[in-house]
Structure formats: structure tokens, C-alpha cells
Chain A
Amino acid sequence: MFRTALLLAALLPASLLCGLSGIPPAAHAATEAPPQDAVLLTVTTPAGVTRLDRAALNALEATEFTTSTIWTEGPQTFRGVRMTTLLAHLGITRGAVHLTAANDYTITIPVQTFRPDGAILAYSRNGAPMSLRSKGPLWMVYPYDSSPDFQTEVIYSNSIWQLERLSVTE
């Protein structure tokens, strides 16, 4: 009886999230290019909910660097938006941001800890957009090779891929 309840509790959020994700029904990441107006990141702030598509992200100042990662082979060139830039664009200056991935992996990072030379929200790797199978479409990566500061487990844990949602708490 009790075990059944636990099982239900474990399964319930997954089914709930599936409903809320708003992923278009025919999103076949590997085979066809995702539509330009598809929402890549849902931002929830106390002021309201903002949905950013690829065009919105492209409109922001882009940053590109090449680094190796512990999850890939060989140097990778990432292109994306600085987290500081993004947060400034979204008007988030304090508190903590909660980032959630497609597999419901969630991390919380204080806004102050984002550095101008730190994480970017990458939307392309090696010049191509990233599919869900290759940790896309959004992957928050750090320039791991540039500093030992970016070679810690915390940084690795923060390097969330398949990012879908961002919320802010005070």
C-alpha cells in the first residue's frame, strides 16, 4: 500500500512536467531542424513568465570560446550568450536562479556568482545548433580550460545541459 503510494509520487511529477513542457508534438530534433519560433527557454520571474526563442537569444550579444569538456572528445567551440548578459537582459540582479533540464535535473545558482568571464548559455556547438541528443538545444558551459576555477565539481554540476526552464527566487 505504502509502496504503491511512493511509486505514484515518483511517477507523478514526470507526467505532470510532460504536460507543461509545451514541446511541439512533431519536434524531431535529429532529423529535421527545429522551427525558429520554437521556445527554447522559459523564464519565470516574480514579474511574470518570459519565453525566449532562438531569435531572441541570437539578438543578444553572442560570445564564443573553444574549450574541452569532460563529457566530450576534443576541443569544442561553443557560441552563446553570457549568463551575466542574459540575466541583465532579463532584469535579474539578485537572488538565485533555478535552472531545470529536460530530464528534470535542477540546479540553483546565486546570481552574484555568475562572472563576466564565466558561463555562457550556448546555443551552438562547433558552428551547429545542438539537438536534444547532443545536450541541446541549450547548454550552460564554462570555459573549463581557461582557469582551474572552472574545473571543480560544482562547476561541472552547474554545467547543465538540455536546459529548458529558468526561474528566480529572492
Chain B
Amino acid sequence: MTAPGPLRAPSGSGLDTGVVRLGVLGLILALCLGVILYLLTDVREKLTELGSSRQDNIQWTLTQLEVEFLKFETAIMEAQLALAPTPQPPDPAHLAEVRTRYDILYSRFETLSRGRAYLQALGDPSVTVSFDAIRARVYGMVPLIDGADTRLARALPDLHGTLTGSRQEIRRILSIANQVMVAQSDRAREGVFQVLRGLALATLGLITVLCAMVVLFRQLALIARRRLDQGREAAARLETIFRTSRDAIVVLDPDGHLRSANRAAQLMFGFSEAQIREVAAGDFLRREDALEPVRGADLFEACAGGAHTGYRLSGYRVDGGRFPIELSMTATDNDGPVLVCVIRDISHQVAIEAQLKASRDQALAGERAKARFLGVISHEMRTPLNGILGTLDLVQEAPDSSDCTAYLGVVRNSAETLLQLVNDVLDITQIEGGDVTIHRAPFNLDALIDDILTSEKPRAMKAGNRLFRSGLTQAGWVTGDATRLRQVLLNLVSNAVKFTEGGEIEVTLAREETQMVFRVRDTGIGMSAEERERIFDDFVRLDGAVHRQIQGTGLGLGIARQLTLAMGGRISVSSRPEVGSLFTLELPLPAAAPARPDRREDLPVAQRALDILLVEDNPTNRFVARRMLERDGHHVTEAEDGAQGVAASAAQRFDVILMDVSMPVMDGYEATRAIRSGPGASADSRIVALTAHVGGDIAESLRAAGMDDVIAKPIRAQVLRRLLAEAACDGPQSGRRQGRRNEAG
């Protein structure tokens, strides 16, 4: 496979150079073979020459000339010896021998003259001349030899003389001829030697080349084997990866059909090994959103530019399950183009992502809720504070104090609204959470309307507006949530006052069976239809409000709508720009029987003046409490923190100790424990905790610390008065210690 590219390069080039070398060697081999073939034909020629000789043993034949020459001479000498004593008549037997030897010699000359081979041997010019001369001399003897015996016998000495004269010459001729022959055979040998040497060299070359080729082939075989091993190793590794991968690995052909799939793929998509060939890409891969089956061609197209990773799709199990997957793939060529896909089941990842997203959304929603909450608190606190401050302005500017009582009622109502608001912090949180608790009780609707109008009047007058009520003059008592209704109506009236200048605000009441319809109409700036759509959404501040620098968080109407819905009613608006707006509030407020008149109780006043230690770090609170107590005739000693309180209580005996809980230096718990456990004069005085913390087990823990009573802030005169009355009745030493003593006695 290709993966190990750099791994393969060197061995590949080795193989290539090997092949080139082999080619070169092959060429040399062919050359050697050609040379050898050529030399072999040469050798064959030489062998043929040696095998089928064109001549007999020339040296022998040549030497026979001398032998026969000598035999002829000997025959003549013998004939001369035999005839010498008796010249007449000659013995024919001796002459016959001479004739025979002559014939043989003649025949020899004839042979040497006719045969081409001998002509060559006797080819030397000096030799030829001598040979021809001698032959002519011998042939010249024919008349004598063939002649009569007596004549031959007489001529014998002459013949002998001639022969003797030629003997040395014959010797010379044969020596030279022999030399020629030797040289000739030497040349022939040399030729054979040359050819054989060439053959040997060529053969040597051939063997060398063959050896080199053997070595090279061996190297090539080694390289090939190494590469095979590498390939096999890589294949084994890949096979292991393929088999053990947790990700599905599938191979697709261009039609989108599966070529192969690992075990993880089978498990992931739920098909068996036998089904692999029947499954197509579209059967288990679909587009994430459209759920459209994925075609093989699409995948190949996507991979045209190289490997593709992190492709999010939907995976489908054969049995129908669906899960998110991430596809990475690359096209490769393996017996035709195929696509290798690695598929990861990212269900887990997607789930985590969803969780993260939900957490983030929640956090963001929390942030928004917090912002909205703060906005609501701010707005809702500002509204009653406005009533208080406005009324105080009226009191200050009133020409006589006769109106003050009415004004104080307004201030108290507003302040109570404020307190209610603080008490309802948790409720507001609940409003935001859509979980608003409605407490229904009978209440005087007319009084509520009057309160609202009275509290808004100062601002209305300031802006030159006329604020008045019309319609149903006596609404009477109804059953409903007075607090929420006040919130909503105050909001509507307050808004109307804010957005109107030199106009009028009319609050109309009408009853429709159990439904009460409130209409708040103004002649203010109004709003467009598009603005009307958004007016009840949270945080909406219209352009008009922004331009006129009218304060607000844009939450008021949103809260009003939510509260109205929670109370089972409806709120709507109609408006025209520059003409005015009309808010209509419909609420189920069934009429109720009037409760007993809201009268001031005859509060008990302490029988006698008490010595009271006031431990409180806040100067305002100290001032208010001190004035309340002193008005009832008590003696008040102040301490600014727990430590001071402990010191004061040790020095003097107090009837009652009013103890704040959260204080610097030493808090209420610690101070109480110190007083109770110490030997001070007030160790068993009545200790009353003053706390702004309101909660289930706070009172319990305070009592455990040694407190006798708990009063929640803000301190109301009636509550304080009742408590001190009890203390006065109980007399001195009404604290815990006394109680304990009673228990003991």
C-alpha cells in the first residue's frame, strides 16, 4: 500500500537501478554471446580444417624425397660395385634395382610437382629454381634408365656423379621447405590460438557477466523480498488497525456499495458480515439535516480535492436507529477507485455539546434574569419612594398642619408598598420564573384607587396634568390580590403621568358581572401600532420615552402583563401617536362583603418607664428606635456595637436590652452569650433581638444564643410597644435568668 511512501522510496530506487544494471548486463551478455558465436564459427572452421586436412604429412613426403634419392644413389653404388670387377656383361638384377629406385624417385618428384601442398612448401624462389634444376637432371636420366643395360651400366658413374652433386642441394631444399612448413603450421597454430584465446576471453566475459547477473538477481530478489515483507508487515498493521478500530472503517466503490467493513462498522450500523455486499452508502449514511440518503457519487465528488475530514452526517442502523456521526474519508485506487471512510459515532460528543449549550443558555438566561430582576427592583422601589418624597414635599409646603394626617396616610401606604416590595423579593423572582403566587383576600377597591391617585397626584400636578377618576363611583369591597392590583394600576397610572404633559389622565372603573374593567386613558405622546406590539415585552423602552429622558427600565408593563395573566385577567392597549393611549385592564374581582373597618388598635402602653439598652450600629435606626422609646417615656442608653453593649450592660442593670444582630466588632450572638455568661449587672435582663434577616431557623438560633424575643426590621411602633408592655408587666428581672430561677424554685 502507499502509506509508507518514504519507507518505500529507497528500496524502490534500488530496484530501479537494479533493473537498469540488469539491462546493461543483459546487453553485455548479448554482446559476449555474439562474439562467442562468431568465434565459435571461426573455431568450427579451424576444426574443420584440422579435421579434414587438405594435405597429408608433407614433412614425411618431403623427407621421403631425400630417402628415395639416397636409395637410388645407393642402388647405383651397389650396381657399380657389383659390376666393377666384371664390366661385361652387366647383371640385370643390379640394374633392375637401379631402375626400380629410379622409378620410385621419379614418382616422388612427380608427386611433389603435382600436389598443391608441396608446391607451397617449395614455393620459395631459390628452392623452386634448385628443385626444378634437380628434377630436370633426374628426369634427364630417363633415356639412360630406359635404355639398354650396357649403356646404363656404363653411365652408372656419371649418374652417381650427378646425384652426388645434387645431394647437398636436396638437403638445402628440404631444410628450407621444412622451415616454410614449420612456419606455416606455426601460423595455423597461432590462428587457432588466437581464436581460442578470443573464445576464452569472451567466455570469461560471459561467465563474469553471468556471475554479476546472478549477484544482481540475488540482490533484486532480496530487495523484492524485503519489500514484500514490508508490504506484508504494513498490511498486517493496517489489518490490525482495521480490525481493532473503535471507529467504523468502510470501503465504498463508486456506486456507493460496500466493498468491506470492519467489525466496528458492523456493530455500529447493525449489519452482519454476510450483508456487507448488499449494503449501499445511502442505507446507513444520510445528510444531517435533510435526511436525504448520501450517494456514493456525492462522497467521491467531495473527495475530489483530497481527503475530507469531519463531515457531520446522520448514521442509520439497519434496524432503524439514528445517531450522529462524523465522517472522514479519502479516495484511493485499489483495483478501481474506492473510498476509504472512517466513521465515528459522535452521539456522546453531540450529547455533551447539547449539554454545554444548554448550560450556556441557562447561564445567559440567568444573567438576563438577574439584569431584569435588578431592573424590576429598581423600578418598583422608585415608584413608592416617589409617593413618599412627593407627599413629604406637600407636607413641607402645606400652609397649615390640618392636611398632614391625610398626607401621612399616603406616606405610610407608599412605605408599606415599599416594605411589601422588599418582602416580596422572592415573589418577584418567582414572577420572572413565571410562577406568581396570588393571595386573594377581600379589600376596599375604592380605597386602593384613592391611594394610587393620591400618590401620583403630586407628579401629575407637577407636569400640569389633571388626574381624576370617573365611571363607577363606588366599587366597594372585592375579593382579589390587592397588592398585585395596586402594582399593576400604579404602573399604568404612573406611566400615563410620565408620558403626558399638560393633558389629562382619566382612570375609569366599570363592572361587568364578576369582571372589573379599569381604563387608564391619557392624552400623552401615544405610540405607533408597531410600538404597541412590543410594549408588553420586557426591557422595551420606546423612542418617545428615550427622547424625553423619562426614566424607566422598560420592565413595568412586562411585569403588569405577567401579573395580570397570573390573576386571570387581560391587559390591552390602544393608542395613536400624539393623541394618547388607553390601557384596558380586565380582572376577575368578584364583589365581597366589607371586612371590619380598618381601625387603629388601642395599643398597650408600658405601665412604667423602663431602662433600655439599645445596641445598634446604624445611627438612623438608633435615632428612630430611641425616639419611639423616649416618646413612650423610657430611658434609653445607646451602644454602637456588641462590645460596647456588653460593657454597658455590665456596668448598669437594664430592664430590656434591644440587640441588633449584624454588627461590627462583636455581633449580637456573641454579645448575648457574653452578657448571659458574664457576671454583669444585666446578665439576666430581657434581651430582644432586632434583625433584618428573615428566615426559618434564624429565630431558633437567636433564642439558642440566649435571646428572649426576636423582632424583624423595620421596627413598627405597635410591635415594640406591645413587647415592652409585656416586659413591664413581668416586672424587673423578667429575663431568662428569672425564668430559669423559677424553674429551679
Q: State the A residues within 8 Å of B (CB).
A: 11, 14-15, 18, 21, 23, 25-31, 70-73, 102-103, 105, 131-135, 148, 151-153, 156-157, 159, 161-162
User: Shortest beta-carbon distance, B219 to chain A, in Å?
Assistant: 49
Tell whether B64 is near chain A: CB-to-CB under 8 Å: yes
**B100 contacts the other chain (CB 8 A):** yes
Please give the distance in Å from B588's CB to the nearest CB on chain A.
146
A28-B99 contact, Cβ under 8 Å, with A103-B71, A148-B52: yes
Please name all residues of chain A whose beta carbon is closer than 8 Å to the beta carbon of B97 when the two chains form the complex.
18
Is B68 a contact partner of A28 (Cβ separation < 8 A)? Answer: no
Question: For the complex, is B107 an interface residue (Cβ under 8 Å from A)?
Answer: yes
Assess whether B450 is interfacial by the CB under 8 Å rule.
no
Chain A: which residue is nearest B109 at the CB level?
Answer: A133
Closest Cβ of chain B: how far from A143's Cβ, in Å? 14
- A31-B146, A70-B116 are known contacts. Are A156 and B93 too (CB-CB below 8 A)? no
In the complex, the answer to whether A156 meets B53 with C-beta atoms within 8 Å is yes
Is B107 touching A153 in the complex (CB atoms < 8 A)?
no
- Could you give, for residues 57-81 of chain B, a 1 whenever the CB lies within 8 Å of some chain A CB and a 0 otherwise? 1000000100110010010001000
Given A156-B53, A162-B104, A11 and B74 contact (CB-CB distance below 8 Å) = yes
Known A72-B114, A152-B52, A152-B53: A15·B104 in contact at CB below 8 Å: no
Docked pose: A102 CA to B176 CA in angstroms? 28
Set B54, B68, B78, B104: member contacting A70, Cβ < 8 A: B54
What is the total of A-B residue contacts with beta carbons within 8 Å? Answer: 82
CB pair B106–A133 under 8 Å, yes or no, is yes
Residues of chain B with a CB closer than 8 A to A28's CB: 99, 146
- Other than A71-B115, A102-B103, A152-B52, give 20 A-B pairs with Cβ distance below 8 A: A14-B74, A18-B93, A23-B96, A23-B100, A25-B92, A70-B115, A71-B114, A72-B115, A73-B114, A103-B104, A105-B64, A132-B107, A133-B106, A133-B107, A135-B110, A151-B53, A156-B53, A156-B55, A156-B57, A157-B57
A161 touches B56 (CB 8 A): no
Contact (A103, B116) CB under 8 Å given A70-B56, A135-B111: no
Q: Is B142 an interface residue (CB 8 A)?
A: yes
Chain A residues whose CB sits within 8 angstroms of the CB of B714 once the complex forms: none
State whether A103 touches B64 (Cβ < 8 A).
yes
Other-chain contact of A25, B48, B96, B104, B146 (Cβ < 8 Å): B96
How far, in angstroms, from A128 to B142 measured CA to CA in the complex? 21
Q: Is B117 an interface residue (CB 8 A)?
A: yes
In contact, A162 and B107 (Cβ under 8 angstroms): yes
- Most B CB within 10 A of own CB, among A15, A18, A159, A162: A18
**Which A residues lie within 8 Å of B433 (CB)?**
none
A14 to B98, CA, bound (A): 12
CA distance A148 to B97 in the complex (A): 39
- CB of A14 within 8 A of CB of B92, answer no
Point out the residues of chain A lying under 8 angstroms from B74, CB to CB: 11, 14
A18 to B97, CA, bound (A): 7
Point out the residues of chain A lying under 8 angstroms from B68, CB to CB.
Answer: 103
Q: Indicate if the CB atoms of B51 and A26 lie closer than 8 Å.
A: no
Instruction: Name the contact of A148 in the complex, choosing from B51, B64, B71, B96 (C-beta under 8 A).
Output: B51
In the complex, A30→B106 CA distance in Å?
11
Chain B, interface residues (CB within 8 Å), range: 20 to 34
| Nearest-Cβ distance from residue A7 to partner chain B, whole angstroms | 10
CA A30 to CA B144, docked complex, whole Å: 12
Contact check, A132 vs B114: say whether CB atoms are below 8 A apart. no
Contacts of B56 in A (CB 8 A): 70, 153, 156-157, 159
Is the pair A131, B117 in contact by a Cβ cutoff of 8 Å? no
Among residues of B, the one whose C-beta sits closest to the C-beta of A32 is B146
Contacts of A133 in B (CB 8 A): 103, 106-107, 110
Q: Which of B51, B93, B104, B115 is packed against the most chain A CB atoms within 10 Å?
A: B104
* Residues of A with C-beta under 8 A to B142: 30
- Chain A residues with Cβ below 8 Å from B52 are 148, 151-152
With A25-B92, A153-B53, A156-B57 already in contact, the answer to whether A71 and B100 are too (CB < 8 A) is: no
CB distance from A12 to the nearest CB of B (A): 12
Q: In the bound complex, do residue A70 and residue B55 qualify as a contact, i.e. CB atoms below 8 Å apart?
A: yes
Are A153 and B57 CB-contacts (below 8 A) given A133-B110, A134-B110, A135-B107?
Answer: yes
Chain B 23-61, CB-CB to A under 8 Å as 1, else 0, gives 000000000000000000000000010011111110000
Most chain B CB atoms below 10 A, which of A73, A133, A156? A133
Residues in chain B near residue A14, CB distance under 8 A: 71, 74
Q: In whole angstroms, what is the CA distance A157 to B59 when docked?
A: 12
Please give the distance in Å from A5's CB to the nearest CB on chain B. 17
CB closest chain-A residue, reference B91? A25
Q: Which residues of B contact A30 (CB under 8 A)?
A: 103, 142, 146
Contacts of A11 in B (CB 8 A): 74
Q: With both chains docked as a complex, state the minimum distance between the C-beta of A16 and any C-beta of chain B, in angstroms.
A: 12
Closest chain B residue to A25 by CB distance? B92
Q: Tell me the smallest distance from the CB of A67 to a CB of chain B, in Å.
A: 14
Q: A15-B78, A18-B97 are in contact. Are A71 and B53 (CB under 8 A)?
A: no
A151 to chain B, nearest CB (A): 4
- A162 — which chain B residues lie within 8 A by C-beta? 104, 107
Q: Nearest residue in A to B93 (C-beta to C-beta)? A: A25
A68 CB to nearest B CB, Å = 10
A72 / chain B contacts, CB cutoff of 8 Å: 114-115
Q: Which residues of A contact B78 (CB under 8 A)?
A: 15
Q: How far is the CB of B365 from chain A (nearest CB, A)?
A: 120
Q: A70-B115, A132-B107, A133-B110 are in contact. Are A27 and B71 (CB under 8 A)?
A: no
Residues of chain B within 8 A of A132, CB atoms compared: 100, 103-104, 107
Would you give 27 A-B contacts (Cβ < 8 Å), ordered by A? A14-B74, A18-B93, A18-B100, A26-B92, A27-B99, A28-B146, A31-B146, A70-B56, A70-B116, A70-B117, A71-B115, A102-B104, A103-B68, A103-B71, A132-B100, A132-B103, A133-B107, A133-B110, A148-B51, A148-B52, A151-B53, A151-B54, A152-B52, A153-B53, A157-B56, A161-B107, A162-B104
Q: Which residues of A contact B64 (CB under 8 A)?
A: 103, 105
Taking CB atoms, residues of chain B closer than 8 Å to A161 are 107
Q: List, in ascending order, chain A residues with CB within 8 A of B51's CB.
A: 148, 152
Tell me the bound Cα distance from A162 to B107 in angstroms: 9
A141 CB, nearest partner CB in chain B, Å: 13
Chain B residues in 8 Å Cβ range of A25: 92-93, 96
The 6 closest A-B pairs by CB, nearest first: A156-B56, A132-B103, A151-B52, A25-B92, A148-B52, A133-B106
Residues on A with C-beta less than 8 A from B114 are 71-73
Which residues of chain B come closer than 8 Å to A18, judged between CB atoms?
A: 93, 97, 100
Chain A residues, Cβ within 8 Å of B54: 70, 151
Cα–Cα distance between A161 and B114 once the two chains are bound (Å):
15
Chain A residues in 8 Å Cβ range of B71: 14, 103
Mark B128-162 against chain A: 1 for CB-CB distance below 8 A, else 0. Answer: 00000000000000100010000000000000000
Q: Give Cα A157 to B97, complex, Å.
A: 25
A20 CB to closest chain B CB (Å) equals 12
Query: Considering the chains assembled together, what is the distance between the CA atoms of A26 and B93 in angstroms?
Result: 9
Instruction: Please pick, from A15, A131, A156, A159, the residue contacting B103 in the complex, using a CB distance under 8 A.
Output: A131
CA distance A37 to B111 in the complex (A): 28
Min C-beta distance of A136 to chain B, whole Å? 9
**Which residues of chain B come closer than 8 Å to A156, judged between CB atoms?**
53, 55-57
Interface centre among B100, B114, B115 (most CB of A within 10 A): B100
Q: Which residues of A contact B103 (CB under 8 A)?
A: 29-30, 102, 131-133
Provide the bound-state CA to CA distance between A104 and B74, in Å. 15
The CA-CA distance from A102 to B67 in the complex, in Å, is: 13
